[in-house]
Structure formats: C-alpha cells, structure tokens
C-alpha cells in the first residue's frame, strides 16, 4: 500500500516547504524506499511556462516536457529521481481536466462542483503520482488560509477515507520568529497556523519549525500542548548556510524515523547518506575561490536562474572551490563597456531564457570571453549570442542576427526559429562528435539533455562557421539540429542548445559545469603563478 506524506505551510510563503519535502525524500530514498513527489500549486495558470521570473523564479523543465515550479528542481536534485509531468499539479490543470470531462458528458449531466469533482480530481492526481511507489511526498503550495488553496486542503482531508488514515502523515511547516527587541522566539504564529489547519479539518501529525535560533525543549513542549501534537514530533529547521545541510540535520533529530513509525514502516537502521556527507565535507573544506559572471536578463532575481546557481555550486564543490556568482544584467551591459563590467571575473556564464528583442548584452559578453580567453559557457540563449558574435566578428557577417529563418530580411539569420518547426521541450538525444572537447568531457558518444526553447542554429551557415573555427560538437540525431558548438583554440568556449543545469546534482555534478569550473581554476592559478 502506498503511503502519503503531505507537507503544508503556514504564516508566510517561502518558508521552506519544498526543501522540507525534498529533504524527507532524500532520507526515505536513502533507506531504500521507492519515493515519488508531487507539487500542488494553487495558482490558476496551467503551468509555470509563461510566468514571469520576476514573480515566480525559474521554470523547471521535466524530462517529458512539462514546465513546472522550481520546487520540482529541488525534488530532482535531492532525491535523484527524474521528475515528470505527473509530479506537477496546478489549479489550471485540475479545472481544465474537469471542464473537458464535463463537456464530454463525463458527469452524466449532473451539477459539477468543487466538492466532490474538483477534490476528486486532485486526489486522483495524487494517487497517480504514487503508482508503483512506496511513499508519495506531496507539497501544497501557498499558505494555510489562502482561499485558492482550500480545495487542495479539502482533498487531502478527504483522502483518508480513500486510502486509510494509517497511510497518511500530515506535516506542517511553520514559522517561529525571533523578536530581536525582546530577544525571544515566539510560538503564537505557529499556534494560529495550526489552529487554521485544524479548523479546516486537518490535525497535523508532525510540525517543522523554521527558525533563526535554536528552539529549546520547553518551547517544543508548549507548541505540542497548544497544537495537540506530541512534543517528540516537533522538529526544527534552523537557517543554514546551505540547503544541502537540511537532510542530515533533520535526520539527527529523528525526523525520518518518527514519520516512518507513524506510517507503520520499518524505522530501524540508518539511511545511507555517505555521498551526501562526502559532499558536505568537501563543501566545508573548499580552499580557493573563483568568480563567475552570470550575464542574464534576470540576473538580479535570486530564483530566476536557480538551477544554474545550484549547478555552479555543485561544480565548485567537486573542484574544492567556492564559486562566487557575480550577477550582471544584460541591459546594464548594453550601455557599459564589457571591460568595465567583466574585468576580473574568472569565467562567464550566459543562461537560457525567453528570447528578447536583441542580444547586445549577451553578445558583448561572448566577444569579451572569446578575445580575452576567458572560459565561456552559453546555454540556449547564451549559445545563440556566442554564434551571432562569432558570425559578425570572425566571419564578417556584420548584420548576422537571431530571429525567424523565414523572415524577409537581408540580414543573415544565423540562428532562430525554422519555418514550421515545433518547440522542443523536454529530453532529447544528442550525438557527440568524436575528437571534440565536449565528447572528452562527457566521456560518452551520446547523451540525453533537456530543452526549454526551440531556437536553433541555421544549418545553411554551419559549414562557414566550422571552417572559421566554430566546431559542431553535437547534433540531435532525429532532425540533425546542431546541439553543441565549441570554439577551437579557445581554453573553454562552449555553447549548448539545451539546459544542462537541470541534470546537475549535489552528489553528481553535471560534467560540463564541472569541467567549466575546473578550467577557470586552472587558468586563474596559471595567471597567479605568472604574476609571482
């Protein structure tokens, strides 16, 4: 029988429900359980694909092409299992499915209502996510008390009647704020949050306290008393220097054992966290530093390139260095000299993103990297900028552009959207070209990587580009699109059509990111040795 763990949150958003759910998934998988996760987002958008990074952070793309909330990226990185469309549920998807069924006569002419039709659809999606798994960890987005989240809470309140109360654990994450003026932690927000959850009809089994200071046992006893929860089932998630410290921190408090006992599952022995502990040991013992310029439209938005930030961190730890990320907004770079904004960085990363009117800032970054011999890694949009810059400044095609292939223009369209092409979103195979730097990095002949946009290189110019030194290092076998380009003779300048950051893990960094950082370190040390 599949077991279900529901993670809810109260008081404020961005409390760490996703990290709590992901950490729990890590602990359960490391004990040998088959784990699945599902994120339930109450927003009415169908998915996160068209949502602004200013409001919502990055869009995480699954292997089967679903554009999802960034929390699903945490699930993949922590649990190490590929996330699919079935692991993402939004109000838009739920209502769309119910309305389509109603239009097809699926309800026999009956009145369609939130209860039971919407709540049943939510439950069906939760159960579907757990098929073939031992444990499903389901996170409810938003905060208890939000009107848009009520159907989800009602659905999980009803679920025990369907699967049995003994197969469910309700875990509530809440805030214990520290009031500096009185030097006190306050439990009242937690009490109110749990009372609101109980008013809806859900009694939490476990409480996780987000806090800045240690919560003593007396305070846990008080919370347990007022919230009708065993004080032994009140845990703390104190602010940490890295989110990857949370799984072992929760385990040391007995978090995973307590939940397993609640679910009637074996709780003896220890989870196998050897890889995780090895990562944290290397994290704590990093010796050197490198600075990577992150050049993007949303560079100053913390979560806009979350997976990139994490992939750079993973690669840094694997190389025993701290990666300092210097955010550079492309609009600022357009109006300033590249020397002024990029001087002193050890490497340049230009991420993917929604195509905008011009690539002037990104092109400046690519030109600076090519001419100065600075390691450059461009993904998706960053690859296009690299190609356009090369075509303009090396091939002499001064009007080279990135747009629609069939656009009526005299300018050479080096990359863009081919007429009649469909977006490639999700995992696609890429065959690597033997003898290239990229093939040596991967140590494979073909790889599967995830795409999130459908701009591509115009094959009409491939031969010219290759003759000038911009080599094709990978192609999609099904349609022949160029997937990877690298500049011959440059220390490290690679552009890829896909977004490899989605496949980076703390215990298994992505090989391109790892080699990118390794080269940056080597060049920095060589330059320092010359100065000395």
Average pLDDT along the chain: 93
Q: Which two tokens stand for residue 20?
A: 């709590």
Pairing of strands 60-61, 67-68: antiparallel
Q: Buried (b) or exposed (e) across 186-214, using 16+ Cβ within 10 A?
A: ebeebbbbbebbeeeebebbbbbbbbeee
Residue-level pLDDT at 420: 63
Residue-level pLDDT at 455: 77
Give helix 511-531 / helix 306-318 axis angle, nearest 10°: 60
CA contacts within 13 A on the Cβ side of 225: 8
Task: Provide DSSP, 486-519.
Answer: EETTSSSEEEESS-GGGG-BTTB--HHHHHHHHH
Q: Which two tokens stand for residue 15?
A: 């409390």
Q: Which two tokens stand for residue 216?
A: 């003593």
Q: Which two tokens stand for residue 389?
A: 């810059």
Question: Which among 63, 84, 54, 46 is positioned nearest to 354, based on CA atoms?
Answer: 54
Residue 5: C-alpha distances to residues 125, 129, 137, 513 (Å): 14, 12, 5, 34
Pairing of strands 482-487, 470-475: antiparallel
How far is Cα 379 from Cα 353, in angstroms, rounded to an integer?
9
How far is Cα 117 from Cα 54, in angstroms, rounded to an integer?
34
Contact 136, 128 (CB under 8 A): no
Residue-level pLDDT at 354: 63
The residues, ordered by sequence, that sit 6+ positions from 394 with a Cβ below 8 Å of its Cβ are 468, 469, 470
CA 76 to chain centre: 8
Contact 286, 253 (CB under 8 A): no
How far is Cα 281 from Cα 338, in angstroms, rounded to an integer?
37
How far is Cα 448 from Cα 67, in angstroms, rounded to an integer?
18
Residue-level pLDDT at 302: 84
How far is Cα 87 from Cα 36, in angstroms, rounded to an integer?
8
Strand partners, 41: 90
Strand partners, 208: 173, 235
Residue where the block lists tokens 């013992």? 285
One digit per residue, the tens of pLDDT, for the chain of length 532 reads 999 999 999 888 888 899 999 999 999 999 999 999 999 999 999 998 888 888 888 999 999 999 999 999 999 999 998 999 999 999 999 999 999 999 999 999 999 999 999 999 999 999 999 999 999 999 999 999 899 999 999 999 999 999 999 999 999 999 999 888 888 889 999 999 999 999 999 999 999 999 988 999 999 999 999 999 999 999 999 999 999 999 999 999 999 999 999 999 999 889 999 999 999 999 999 999 999 999 999 998 889 999 999 999 999 999 999 999 999 999 999 988 999 999 999 999 999 876 555 788 999 999 999 999 999 999 999 999 999 999 999 999 888 877 665 555 666 788 877 666 677 899 999 999 999 999 999 999 999 999 987 678 888 889 999 999 999 999 999 878 899 999 999 999 999 999 999 999 999 999 999 999 999 999 999 988 888 7
Residue 210: C-alpha distances to residues 12, 194, 232, 240 (Å): 11, 14, 16, 11
Torsion of CA 195, 198, 204, 210, to 10 degrees: -30
The residues, ordered by sequence, that sit 6+ positions from 180 with a Cβ below 8 Å of its Cβ are none
How far is Cα 354 from Cα 132, in angstroms, rounded to an integer?
36
How far is Cα 184 from Cα 176, in angstroms, rounded to an integer?
10
How far is Cα 157 from Cα 423, in angstroms, rounded to an integer?
39
Residue-level pLDDT at 413: 80
Contact 362, 392 (CB under 8 A): no
Residue 357: C-alpha distances to residues 44, 301, 381, 402 (Å): 29, 20, 12, 9
Residue-level pLDDT at 411: 67
Contact 510, 308 (CB under 8 A): no
Question: Which among 96, 97, 93 is positioned nearest to 41, based on CA atoms?
Answer: 93
* Number of neighbours of residue 320 by Cβ within 10 angstroms: 13
- Work out the angle at residue 464's Cα, subtended by the Cα atoms of residues 347 and 449, and round it to the nearest 5 degrees: 50
Residue where the block lists tokens 């090895």? 278
* Number of neighbours of residue 86 by Cβ within 10 angstroms: 16
How far is Cα 162 from Cα 160, in angstroms, rounded to an integer?
5
Residue-level pLDDT at 405: 57
């Amino acid at each position: 029988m599949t077991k279900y763990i529901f993670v809810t949150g109260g008081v404020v958003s961005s409390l760490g429900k996703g990290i709590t759910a992901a950490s729990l998934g890590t602990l359960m998988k490391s004990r040998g359980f088959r784990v699945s996760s599902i994120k339930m987002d109450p927003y009415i958008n169908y998915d996160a694909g068209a949502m602004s990074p200013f409001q919502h952070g990055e869009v995480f793309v699954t292997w089967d092409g679903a554009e999802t909330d960034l929390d699903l990226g945490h699930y993949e990185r922590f649990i190490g299992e590929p996330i699919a469309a079935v692991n993402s549920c939004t109000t838009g998807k739920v209502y769309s499915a119910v309305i389509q069924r109603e239009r097809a006569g699926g309800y026999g002419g009956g009145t369609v209502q939130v209860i039971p039709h919407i709540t049943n659809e939510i439950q069906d999606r939760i159960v579907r996510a757990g098929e073939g798994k031992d444990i499903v960890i389901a996170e409810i987005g938003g905060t208890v008390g939000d009107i848009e989240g009520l159907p989800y809470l009602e659905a999980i309140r009803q679920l025990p009647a369907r699967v049995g109360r003994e197969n469910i654990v309700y875990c509530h994450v809440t805030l214990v704020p520290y009031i500096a003026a009185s030097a006190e932690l306050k439990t009242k927000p937690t009490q109110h949050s749990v009372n609101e959850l109980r008013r809806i009809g859900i009694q939490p089994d476990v409480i996780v306290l987000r806090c800045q200071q240690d919560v003593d046992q007396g305070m846990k006893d008080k919370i347990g008393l007022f919230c009708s929860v065993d004080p032994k089932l009140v845990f703390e998630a104190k602010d940490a220097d890295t989110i990857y410290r949370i799984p072992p921190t929760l385990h040391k408090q007995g978090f995973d054992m307590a939940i397993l006992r609640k679910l009637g599952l074996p709780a003896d022995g220890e989870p196998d966290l050897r890889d995780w502990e090895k990562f944290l040991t290397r994290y704590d013992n990093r010796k050197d530093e490198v600075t990577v310029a992150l050049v993007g439209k949303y560079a100053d938005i913390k979560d806009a390139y979350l997976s990139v930030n994490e992939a750079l961190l993973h690669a840094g730890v694997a190389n025993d260095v701290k990666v300092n990320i210097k955010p550079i907004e492309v609009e600022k770079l357009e109006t300033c000299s590249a020397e002024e904004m990029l001087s002193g960085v050890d490497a340049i990363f230009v991420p993917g993103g929604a195509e905008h009117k011009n690539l002037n800032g990104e092109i400046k970054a690519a030109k600076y990297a090519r001419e100065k011999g600075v390691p450059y890694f461009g993904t998706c949009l960053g690859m296009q900028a690299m190609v356009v810059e090369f075509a303009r400044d090396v091939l002499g095609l001064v009007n080279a552009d990135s747009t629609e292939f069939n656009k009526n223009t005299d300018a050479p369209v080096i990359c863009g959207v081919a007429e009649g092409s469909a977006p490639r979103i999700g995992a696609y195979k890429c065959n690597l070209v033997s003898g290239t730097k990229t093939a040596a990095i991967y140590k494979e002949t073909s790889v599967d990587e995830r795409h999130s946009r459908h701009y591509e290189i115009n094959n009409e110019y491939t031969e010219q580009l290759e003759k000038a030194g911009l080599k094709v290092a990978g192609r999609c076998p099904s349609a022949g699109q160029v997937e990877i380009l690298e500049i011959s003779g440059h220390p490290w300048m690679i552009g890829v059509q896909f977004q490899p950051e989605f496949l980076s893990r703390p215990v298994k960094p992505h090989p391109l990111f790892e080699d990118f950082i390794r080269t940056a370190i080597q060049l920095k040390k060589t330059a320092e040795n010359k100065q000395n």
